[in-house]
Each structure stands twice: as structure tokens, then as C-alpha cells.
Amino acid sequence: MKRRKTPAKEAVLKLLSQRQKAMSHDAIEQEIEVDANRATIYRVLNQFCDDGIVHKVVAEDGKQYFAVCMDCKGEKIPNHHFHFRCTTCDTIECLGESVHFSIPEGYRVKDVNCLLSGTCPDCT
């Protein structure tokens, strides 16, 4: 499947690139510059995720947040790093800090999801 350049994709990517932080679908839909259907936005976001352009974080509120990660430039499997969610401005950002751990025998780790939450510098 060859990808096509569309207004919806450009707008989403532009918005996500401007902000340094991860946004929920809801926030994206509100702040985006073009009109786009909910399903379209989700499809665009999921496609970006598949292509490794943006990545997805699920927060403690159970919602998905999407961001263009600064640290992992195109790498398929980026270094596992902490994410920080500000509960005041409701955004998530990537922290440089990487995650270190060791686990008991027998466990096979396929994914790492570490989310700190609180208030960010902008909201203090």
C-alpha cells in the first residue's frame, strides 16, 4: 500500500510536530486546522504509528496519546524512555531518561510502558 499525501495527514502531522507533547484524539480534533472525521483522524494516527512516524502512549486515564517523538528519529524500536503526563494541561511528553530494569527468569518482555504523572514546568 503506497501512502498518499492528504490534507488530513498534513494537518495532523503539522500539529503534532509543532507541539512537543503527545495529544489525545480529542485534543487533536479540536486544534487541527482542517475538518476531519473522527475515524479519519484515528486512521491517520494509526497509520503514522505503523510507519513509525508517531508513537502511541496509553495513559492512566485509559486514553491513547500520540506524539512525534523527538528522541527516536526514525528508529524502528526506540530506546525505552519514561513519559511524563501533566494532569493539568493534559499532555504527555517524552523524557530523555531511559528505563532500566531486570526481571525474573521466564518472563519475556515485548513492550515497555513507563509513565510518570504530575505537573509539568509550564503548569507549576
The interface with Zn ion within residues 76-95 (CB under 5 A) comprises 86, 88-89
Interface characters, 11-50, with Mn ion (x: CB under 5 A) = ----------------------------------------
For Mn ion, the binding residue among 69, 85, 86, 92 (CB under 5 A) is 69
CA distances from 41 to 32, 36, 53, 55, 87 (A): 10, 7, 15, 14, 24
**What number of residues does the chain have?**
124
CA 105, 106, 111, 113 torsion: positive or negative? negative
Q: Establish if 59 lies at the interface with Zn ion (CB under 5 A).
A: no
79 contact, one of Mn ion, its own copies, DNA, none, CB 5-8 Å limit per kind: none
C-alpha distance across the termini of the chain, in Å: 46
The interface with its own copies within residues 27-46 (CB under 8 A) comprises none
Residue 104 CB, nearest distance to its own copies (Å)? Answer: 7
The dihedrals phi and psi of 83, each to the nearest 5 degrees, come to: -115, 155
For its own copies, the binding residue among 40, 52, 87, 90 (CB under 8 A) is 87
